Structure 1
C-alpha cells in the first residue's frame, strides 16, 4: 500500500518545503527544462570539472579537468558509506554522542537525531544516502574509528589505497573546510569501489525509507531522496539512473555523483561546481554520450585463464618442492570500446613462470596476461596468487636433514654390501680357480705315473 502512494508522496515533497527537522542541502536548482539535445561529438559541459567512467573496466570515457582539486561538499559521504560497509554490519547499533549530534553547522542537513539515540547502521546509512544527514555521518565516524578526526585520516588513507592522488578529507560529511578536497576522478574511483558492496547496491536506487520509533523518538521518520534523477516525478528524472549522491555548499556549489546502467553497461558520472540545475543536465549529457558511443566488453573471466605454478625453495643447493599456487586475474576483465568494434581478433597471451621461489603471499602478482586486439595490446592484467606458500620451517629443514643423513647411511650400507658381495664373489672365483688348478695338477701327475709304468 505504501508503495502505491509513493509517487504521490514524492510529488507532495516537491510542492511543499520539508520542515527543518529533515532539512536537505540547498541545491540551488532552477526550474528550467533540461537540455533537449546532447552534443555527443563534443560535450560542452557547464561543470568546472567532470568525469565519465565505465564502472566495469574503470576506464575514462570523458573528462574535464579531472585531476583539479575541488571542494566536494556532501559527495564526501560516499567515502563515509564505504568505510562503514567495510568495517561493520547493517544490523550493528550506533548510539549517538553529544559531539556527533551537535558538531554540525546550524541549518545544515540532518534528521534530528537525539543525543543518546540508538539506530542501526542500515538506518544511519539510509539517512546519509537519502537525506545527506550530517550528524549521521559523524555517528558513522565515531562508530568506525572512535573520533571524527581519526576517521578522516582513515578516509584519506583508504582513498590513497584506491588510487586517489589528489584527495584529503578532514571530516565525514563534506561541510566546508579549505583542507577538505578531492577531484572528479578520485570521486569516481571511490564511487566505483562502493559498487563492490551488494549492501550499497540494494540501497542506492531507493528514494524512500522509514525509520520507526527509537529509544528517543516516538514518531516514525519518513525519508525522501534528494537526487532528482532518481525521482520519476522530477523533470530531471533519468530512466537509466540507478543511484548516486548530491552535494552543495556555498563554496563547492552543486556537486553530483550518479550511477546509470543500460544494456549491461554501467557508468559513473561525476560533476563538480555547477550552478542551478547544471549538475543534472550535465550528468544526463554525459550518460547519453557514453551509452550512445561506447560499449563495455567482457574480455575474460577469472576461471578461464588460470595457471598452476610450482613453489620451490633451494636448500643445501637443491630445489625442494613445497607446493603449488593458483594464479588468476583478481576479477573478471572488462574493456570499453567504441560501439561496433570487431572483437573477433581479441587474443590473450599468458606470461607466467612454471616455478617460483618461496615465499609466495596470497594476492601477490606472479605473472601477467597480455590482451591484444588486431595485434595491439589493449590491456595488461596481473595474475594474482590465490593462495600462499611459506618457506620451510626449521622443523621441516631438520626432517630433510635427517632424511639426508639417513639417505647417506643407506647409500653407504649399500656400498658396503656391494663390496662384501664383490669380495665373496672374488673369493669364490679364486678358490674355484685354485681348485681347478689343483685338480689339473693331480690329473697331470696321474698321467705321468701311468706313463712311467707303461715304459717299465
Structure 2
C-alpha cells in the first residue's frame, strides 16, 4: 500500500500543477515567506533578499548539509547496517522509509531516500555512517557550515526536525546550497525525479519520489530540497539554470503552497533583470612568483564573473591574492595550485579560486664539482694512508739499494789495495 501511495504522489506532482504567469518582473518579487534569498551561482552575488540574517528553522532543508557530508566522506557502494537508533522516537519520527534495526542499505540508496523522499530515518542512518554517532556528525555539520561561511547557522540534528537551537538564515542556507550544488554528485541526486532503491523487506517504500514540485513542472529547475514542520512551516531551496546562468533561491517560513509561485517569481526576476559579465576569463594572469630566479605567472582556470543589474553600473570587485605556501618554492609544476584569489564585493566574500602555475621550474641544479671536491673525506683519508704505505715501502727499498751499492764499492776498494 505504501508503494502504491508513492506512485500516486508521483503522478500528482507531474500532472496537478502548472506554471503561473507574471504581470511584472521588473520589480523585486513580493514573497510571502518570512525570509528569502536569491544568489547567482557563478558570481556568488546577491540578487534578492528578504530578512537575510533572520534566524529561522530550516526543517528538512537541513538534509542538504547531511547529504553533502555523506557524499564528501562516504562511498556509495558501502553497506550500512541500520542501528537501534531507529527505535528512538525522539530522534526518528515524521517522514520515514521505515528502516528497521539490522536492515542493510547502500549509502547510495540512503542518499536517494534522504534527498528525494526526505526520510528522517535515512538521514540519521547516514549520520551514524559518517560520524559513527549522531552527536559527532552534528559537530561535523556545524564545522562544515563555518568553513562555508554560514556563520550564523547551528545544527542540532541531521534531519531538520524541530529543536530549539536548530536554526539557520536565508543567507547562510543559500551559501550552503551553492557549495553543495557545485558538487557534481550532489547535483545529480537532487535533480533526480524518481529512483527505486533496494530493500530486503516487503511492504516498505522502494520508489523514492522527489518532493520538489518545481522540478516536475519547470524545465529550468534542477533541484534542490523542500522542508516542512509545524514550527518551520514551508521551506524551499531551489536551483534553476537558464541561458548559461544558474540561480539558487531560498524561501523559509512560508505559510502555504504559494512558496512555489514565489520561488518562480524570484527566478524570473533574477533571470530577466540581471546579466553576467566575465571580469577575468579563464587563463588570465592575476599574479606571478619567482622560483629559482625564474618568473612564473599565476593564472585562473575558470572565469571570474560579475552580475550586473540591467540599466545600472557594473559592480566593482576586489581581488585579494594570498599564497598557499609559507616558505619560498624551490620548484613548481605546471598546473600546480600555489596561491588563491579571493573575490570580494567591497568586503563581502563572493568566491575563492585557485591560482595555478603557468610552467614547470625544476629544482636548481647543484654546482659541478672537481674530481677531488667530489671525493668523500673517509675515502680520501683511506686513500692517503694507502699512498703513504706505498711510499714507505719504496723509500725502504731505495735505502737498501743505496746500502748495497756502498758496500760493493767498499769491497772493490779493499780488494784493489790487496792486489
Same fold (TM over 0.5): yes
Is contact 2:40-2:47 (8 Å) kept?
yes
Q: Does 1:143 align with 2:129?
A: yes
Aligned to 1:3: none
**Displacement after TM superposition at 1:357 (Å):** 5.6
Q: From 203, 210, 231, give the equivalent of 1:225.
A: 210
Structure 1 partner of 2:402: none
- State the alpha-carbon separation in 2 of the partners of residues 370 and 219 from structure 1: 50
Q: CA contact under 8 A between 1:245 and 1:256: conserved in structure 2?
A: yes
8 Å Cα contact 2:317/2:343 also seen in 1: no
TM-score, normalised on structure 2? 0.72
Question: How far off is 1:365 after superposition?
Answer: 4.0
Q: Secondary structure at the match of 1:131?
A: coil
Matches within 5 A, 1:238-317: 238-305=218-285, 308-311=288-291
Partner of 2:328: 358
5 Å-filtered alignment, 1:112-127, equals 112-127=98-113
Tell me how far 1:75 sits from its aligned partner: 0.3
Q: Which residue of 2 aligns with 1:195?
A: 181
In structure 1, what is the Cα distance between the partners aligned to 2:281 and 2:215? 32
User: Secondary structure of the residue that 1:181 maps to in structure 2?
Assistant: coil
Contact 1:94 1:119 in 2 (8 A): yes
* Cα distance in 2 for residues equivalent to 1:226 and 1:110: 13
Residues in 2 aligned to 1:370 and 1:128: alpha-carbon distance in whole angstroms: 34
| Conserved 8 A contact 2:283-2:302 | no
Does the CA contact (< 8 Å) of 1:170 and 1:177 recur in 2?
yes
CA distance in 2, matches of 1:70, 1:58: 22
CA distance in 2 between counterparts of 1:77 and 1:349 reads 33
1:11 is the counterpart of 2:2: no
What RMSD over aligned residues (CA atoms) do the two structures have, in Å?
4.3
CA distance in 1, matches of 2:142, 2:12: 39
Equivalenced residue count is: 355
1:37-85 deviation line (CA, Å, top 9, x unaligned): 3553142221111000001111100001101111111000000011111
In structure 2, the partner of 1:415 is none
Determine the structure 2 residue equivalent to 1:180: 166
Q: CA deviation at 1:247?
A: 0.6
Please show how residues 13-412 of structure 1 align to structure 2 within 5 Å: 36-100=22-86, 102-103=88-89, 108-214=94-200, 216-217=201-202, 221-231=206-216, 237-305=217-285, 308-311=288-291, 321=292, 327-329=298-300, 331-339=302-310, 358=328, 365=339, 384-386=354-356
| Structure 1 residues 261-307: Cα deviation after superposition (integer angstroms, max 9, x where no partner) | 11111100000111011321211110111111112233334423365
Stretches of structure 1 lacking an aligned partner (at least 5 in a row): 1-5, 17-30, 232-236, 312-320, 388-395, 408-456
